[in-house]
Amino acid sequence: MNKLTACPLDCYDACSVVYGEGKLKGDPEHPYTNGYLCPHLNHFWKQERITQPRLHGKPVTMEEALAHLQTLVRDGLDGNGVLHYRGSGNFGLMQAVTDHFFASVGATLTEGSLCDGAGEAGVVEGRGANRVLPPEQIEKSEVVVVWGRNIPVTNSHLLPMLKGKKLIVIDPVRTALAERADLHIQLKPMGDLFFAMLLARFIVIEGMHDEAYLEEHGEEYEDFYELTQTVRIKAVLEMIGLSLGDIGDVLAAFQEKRVVILTGVGVQKYRIGADVVRAIDAIGVLLGLFGKEGCGVGYLGSSASGIDSPFAKARRFEPKATAAFSDYDTVFVQGANPAAQMPDTNRVEDALAKAGHVVYFGLYENETSALAELVIPAKTFLEKNDVRTSYGHNALLPMPACESGGMGIGEYDLSRYLCEAFGVPIQSEEAYLEHFRSSGEAQGGKTVVKGREALPYAEGFETDDGMFAFLEEYDFDFEMHSDYFLITPKSPHSLNSQFSRETHVHMHPECGFAEGVLLRVLSETGEVTLPLRHDDRLRHDCVLIYSGTPGVNRLTPSLLSYEGKNACYQANKVKVEVC
Ligand SMILES: Nc1nc2c(c(=O)[nH]1)N[C@H]1C(S)=C(S)[C@@H](COP(=O)(O)OP(=O)(O)OC[C@H]3O[C@@H](n4cnc5c(=O)[nH]c(N)nc54)[C@H](O)[C@@H]3O)O[C@H]1N2
Ligand SMILES: Nc1nc2c(c(=O)[nH]1)N[C@H]1C(S)=C(S)[C@@H](COP(=O)(O)OP(=O)(O)OC[C@H]3O[C@@H](n4cnc5c(=O)[nH]c(N)nc54)[C@H](O)[C@@H]3O)O[C@H]1N2
Ligand code: SF4
Ligand SMILES: [Mo]
């Protein structure tokens, strides 16, 4: 019999999945999933799993593994502490049940993000809260501006909704979407803050701003207009690789009535990421796009919006992007591969080696499982109960267990074991699941998270005074000319470090190096050697290495964004040399 579940992966689309006879299919009834899945789930079975727990490299039983885990946690709590480092390998809400145990016994958890935290900080500063722009609004638009988001790769279920619309892509790479767009602005990486401010300035100069809307929702806009006047037009356009014509072309598209801007994580992998996203939001405010049918600015919305956590809260935190593993006796890694996916791999490896004991709790072998003392296999999403939400739409999707038995242990069972061993109260699995399920309500034939609006910000912004808080100042000290920009977007074949990972460095064919040659790529933080793949979608001043490529994060720095405690994967420039 078929069962309905949802894809567990960290992805905008959060697909509804039909499971039957050992096969996974896209739910044809679900309005966004539309009956198809992407390669990650289509090939889900091919990925080899960890089948047995391992201690110091030797197989042990699950009972032995859990008993050892208990000892490591106890010793850590009695000594220099325990760090619980949870990643985004599985996006189910029940993944956080381990937080309940670790927080209750006084362990340290992580704060900030490797992902969208800088942009989210900018959104929250400006709008007061980070709401999802529902796909229904995107569908009703006439013009879609895709700004630092690679929709065909990372958010492919949105593609049908872009059909027939005027499409503008702002991206240093000529992505597949840029290829078919009406306009592609191939700016320099890190050029977005200035481009957004210049667009804002010309919107006001041309009188395209919505004065009635601004009086009600953005009364400080004139101060922001003044700030944009500090940007020297000619020098800055030259610096970001654009012309006045590019500004004119984008403004022309803004003349249409229903405009949507979709911002992705690409624009905010820098220390000033919050300011960039806030400046892009300002364009939406000037044009009066928020709270209007078929309009809006959508970033990765908060997936936790509308969900109350039933789990204990921690009091101590480490920043996720720069966690000091070596300060702890016991580090428990769950659903993550920090030895590859955190920035500054050389530092991370060193810090993990100096931590007392590293435990890895996951599905697949990776750089982190290779250096863990204790490895505990998890169950897949098909073998345990969960519920999920998304940062790309408002649906609440149940994920009931579809298969029984199997290898590994689920997050709830592992947490219950630890809670019982340490005398920490824990509710039944069903009570938590019911708590999450009851956060949903029926809306137009599907279940959505209660309280999430079909048209966010229709009543104004959620700041203290209800007004959009425009950017008041900015810092910009990025070297835009020497060396190469490093861009590290998502790959079509992997989900960060899960599944089929990329192995090349990409540069334009006119970069002066032969296809296939081994290139050493160097930054302030480290180096990596990879074979070169020519890629004429790139600017001449860019080196592209996909997220998940082994070694890419040897090049990226241990820096936090100025706001949002986010990793800054594109903050280092790089040099290249032939090996
Ligand atoms: N196939 C696949 N899908 C995924 C993932 C995956 O690994 N693989 N990961 C998931 C996760 S965890 C996330 S967070 C989302 C993120 O998904 P997206 O938001 O799409 O993020 P990225 O692919 O990192 O970058 C998006 C685009 O930004 C561009 N870019 C890079 N630097 C700049 C810049 O300075 N300015 C501008 N304007 N653009 C820039 C890149 O060229 C790229 O096309 O995707 C999710 N979906
Ligand atoms: N250079 C560069 N680095 C990046 C990025 C980038 O764009 N460029 N992107 C960053 C972003 S946006 C993100 S979100 C992070 C992601 O980085 P991580 O959070 O480290 O995620 P993954 O690499 O997907 O690794 C997830 C692991 O989770 C495990 N897992 C999967 N399902 C389950 C489960 O049900 N239970 C348990 N216990 N484990 C499970 C799998 O074994 C898998 O190896 O990477 C960041 N790193
Ligand atoms: S990874 Fe994204 S697009 Fe692919 S099946 Fe999962 S939710 Fe759908
Ligand atoms: Mo992410």
Regarding the beta carbon of 386 and ligand 1, being less than 6 Å apart is answered no
Check pLDDT > 90 for residue 445. no
Nearest CA to ligand 3 atom 8: 15
The residue-averaged pLDDT of 353-375 equals 98
Regarding the beta carbon of 15 and ligand 3, being less than 6 Å apart is answered yes
Residue of 155, 144, 140, 150 whose CA lies nearest to 15: 155
User: Which residues line ion ligand 4, judged by CB < 5 Å?
Assistant: 115
- Quote the CA–CA distance of 186 and 240 in Å, as a whole number: 10
Task: Provide the 8-state DSSP code for 187.
Answer: P
> pLDDT above 70 covers what percent of the chain?
100
Give the chain's mean pLDDT.
97
Check pLDDT > 90 for residue 406. no
Q: Where are the domains of the chain?
A: 1-46, 50-111+312-388+397-438, 117-298, 484-578
Q: Which CATH code is given to the segment(s) 484-578?
A: 2.40.40.20
11 CA distance to ligand 4 middle (Å): 8
208-263: per-residue pLDDT in tens? 999 999 999 999 999 999 999 999 999 999 999 999 999 999 999 999 889 999 99
Domain 50-111+312-388+397-438 indexed as CATH 3.40.50.740: yes
Instruction: Name the token pair of 372.
Output: 């863990």
CATH superfamily of 117-298: Dimethylsulfoxide Reductase, domain 2 (3.40.228.10)
N- to C-terminal Cα separation, the chain? 56
Confidence of residue 292 (pLDDT cuts 50, 70, 90): very high
Which residues partner with 86 through β-bridges?
A: 334
- Quote the CA–CA distance of 483 and 269 in Å, as a whole number: 18
548-579: per-residue pLDDT in tens? 999 999 999 999 999 999 999 999 999 999 99
Q: Which ligand is nearest to the CA of 39?
A: 3
Confidence of residue 524 (pLDDT cuts 50, 70, 90): very high
Regarding the beta carbon of 14 and ligand 3, being less than 6 Å apart is answered yes
Which atom belonging to ligand 1 lies closest to the Cα atom of 40? 1
The residue-averaged pLDDT of 91-115 equals 98
- Quote the CA–CA distance of 112 and 477 in Å, as a whole number: 23
Burial class (CB in 10 A: 0-12, 13-18, 19+), 232: exposed
Check pLDDT > 90 for residue 142. yes
pLDDT for res 48:
97
Nearest CA to ligand 1 atom 12: 10
Regarding the beta carbon of 170 and ligand 1, being less than 6 Å apart is answered yes
User: pTM value?
Assistant: 0.98
Check pLDDT > 90 for residue 454. yes
- Quote the CA–CA distance of 275 and 271 in Å, as a whole number: 9
Nearest CA to ligand 3 atom 6: 7
Burial class (CB in 10 A: 0-12, 13-18, 19+), 233: middle
Confidence of residue 309 (pLDDT cuts 50, 70, 90): very high
15 CA distance to ligand 3 middle (Å): 5
The residue-averaged pLDDT of 101-128 equals 98
pLDDT for res 452:
94
470 CA distance to ligand 3 middle (Å): 35
**270 contacts: CB under 8 Å, gap ≥ 6:** 118, 190, 276, 478, 561, 568, 570, 571
Check pLDDT > 90 for residue 443. no
